[in-house]
Structure 1
């Protein structure tokens, strides 16, 4: 049977799905183990999330990983993403990054657990808890998987909970640009700074924007704010792009479409506009972060050619 140490690793689960005559019927599921409780396990498979009650598990074991990026590639992408979403309050714990931003978004208010914290793991988590307590915030740790599997296992033992699984997805920019453009849609305007209505549209999704949020959104040297307006001048779609890191990654964030304008291709339209901007700045690939349970967004990004590079869990300290 699987254990907490297997979370973040590739596993195969043989599940009992019925009985024919006096013989049980089985089905197999292969994927990344993202959660294991006393009653069920959760797999991230190629076809989506699969939750299996433990009472239905006949056998389960860890299997060799599929082709996946090396740890160095995961760390490099996570650091590029950190540069694109710069928390204004920062400190280091060895190679770990401690970040705070008035509790606006988990990314900017969590310790990024990549590399060596320069002390035993238990002591590192103690230091994270102390730092966030000093800043008046609940301790959070961003744990990329399977790179941070030992961190996740230790946090499980300490009673930390987990937010929904986040997929870090990547795609090449050239295929996005090679797809036919949409001449029937209003143009994608790209601005160096956002307007009040751009902020307002983001706030509808992300909540009130504190001063730290403004610093995050505008504090990157190479960033752009995309917007699409209808013929009446009303804002109907927004997004933010940022190019960071030595590999010149385009980070796409805050892609949002007005509810009345969804399913009309505006999301793809905006991403294409950001891709054109980024290619001019030497970028060849893009990344984005999306919750695995947001199936509509995952499907949209899949149509654009995005696939999962790695995943992460945002872990929360007990209250």
Structure 2
């Protein structure tokens, strides 16, 4: 991997982490009045995907979508404004944290419905195949999505039609408060289950950003070459509560020991240490990155706070497609 890509991965991970930690810190101000699903601890997969995908590629996601949106190039100002319910938000203040969209960079939307954007992502890939555009469609998903019927239908269709789809699964081990052990029989692996549909799959460490980047680079190149869809599963871990800015280890669904073990594998300082050791960045470089990120975040929140709320009549716009003229 070239040094430029390594530096980009570190910057993007620091940026995603800082944005979400700021959301958590400021959530108590009561200005962000929508549910928020943070992905602190999972930044490596998003950053690597953002570095591999082209601006012309398309992507969709689920309810935990901040990192995917930002890694694909989505506007931070528009995202914070959306979470604050402002008209300058990426969905004009109507959707909130779980409904992010920035078509200008190919992020085609996220939804609160588990698995809801999987068929959308597959549908987006069909004209790519028919028109031989060279694009791919990336479907970000969590470990609960392969338990939905629509996932199996969509994967089967993508395999039958050999569509250019990257199914990218961040397996953080839990669906809300339910671990895989109560949702899947002993010994079953998600990537092996999905492989039964006839597509190539991969399983890896989601806390190693450069390894994720290398694996995705190979897979995306194969998809672009016409080899059909692929499924990539990376094991990772969310630090904060399922929904909200706090921690929920007191609920008893996961142990403090498990949480602390995953924190020791924090992908952000791990990459930072490696790049400093390899003389790809210096501590001063990292400080400069952080200062740039902090300034951008401050500007985004200022933009959101100064933006107006949508007028009441906006509640009735863009509800249905307009009738054909």
Structure 2 length as normaliser, TM-score?
0.28
Q: Which has the higher strand share?
A: 1
Q: Which has the larger radius of gyration?
A: 1
Structure 1 length as normaliser, TM-score?
0.28
Q: Which has the higher helix share?
A: 2
Higher relative contact order (CA 8 A, sep 6+): 2
